Every structure is written in structure tokens, then in C-alpha cells.
Amino acid sequence: MLEDHIRLKAINHITYNVKDKDAALRWYEDVLGIKQIPKMVDSDNLYWLQLPSGAMVHLIENPEAPSAPSHHTAFEVDDIEAAREALKGRGIETTEIQTRHDGQRAFYFHDLDGNRLEICTKSGFGVLV
């Protein structure tokens, strides 16, 4: 068992490969409301964005986008029905909202480059570790 001071505590950041970092930045800001922050590295091929929780999303320009192998990140919202309707209102195709065994609800969609994203409610079973 790991000592507490070396346990994983939170998501710091996730990365997505995108074909056009400027188009992706506009999409993540306009569609998902994730705000750009200053990047802390010297690189012209990426943007840093941040959620209100402090977790970051790094968009990395790469002609081999989308990110492979396929993976996704789940973002929590308070009103999942309203979130899905807002995306659909922007012409974004989503899956139906699914309910998991713990009561958590979720749906999926893709960004401009085909990266899979999930919108979900807070987990019903809470922190287990």
C-alpha cells in the first residue's frame, strides 16, 4: 500500500491531440466553456485550458489527431439534461444519457478531431479510497 504522501490525489491535466490548435481552442472555449490559461512551457504547438476545479486540458497540435489509442475524459456537470440539450443545440451529436448502477448518469460526444468526451453527473458511490 502506498504511503499517503505519494498516493494519487487528483487529476492535474489531460491532453488531447488536435489537428488545428486554434480551431480546437475556439471549440473548447465556445462549446464547453473551458478557459485558456497561460502555458508554463516554451512550445508553440499547444494551448493550456483550465476548469474551475483547477484541472487542466492541454490541446496539442498534431497531424496524427485524434488521440490514439482512443480514450476519453469525463467532465462533471450539475444538470446533465441541460448540458446535452446545449450541445445538441450547437449541432453536436451525442449518445443518449445512460444511468449506471450507482445512479451516475452520462453521455458521450466527439470534439472537432474525433476525440471522445463524456459529460456526467457526480458519482453515486462517492470516494472509496
Output the DSSP codes for 19-71.
Answer: S-HHHHHHHHHHHH-PEEE--SS--SSEEEEE-TTS-EEEEEE-TT-S-SS--
> Tens digits of per-residue pLDDT, 72-98?
888 999 999 999 999 999 999 999 999
User: Is residue 128 pLDDT above 60, yes or no?
Assistant: no
3-state class (DSSP) for residue 97: coil
pLDDT, one tens digit per residue, over 8-41 is: 677 889 999 999 999 999 999 999 999 999 998 9
Q: How many helices (H) and strands (E) does the chain have?
A: 2, 8
Q: Structural domain boundaries of the chain?
A: 4-120
> pTM of this prediction?
0.81
Output the CATH code of domain 4-120.
Answer: 3.10.180.10
Q: What is the pLDDT of residue 3?
A: 77
- Tell the residue number behind the cell numbers 492541454, with chain if given: 58
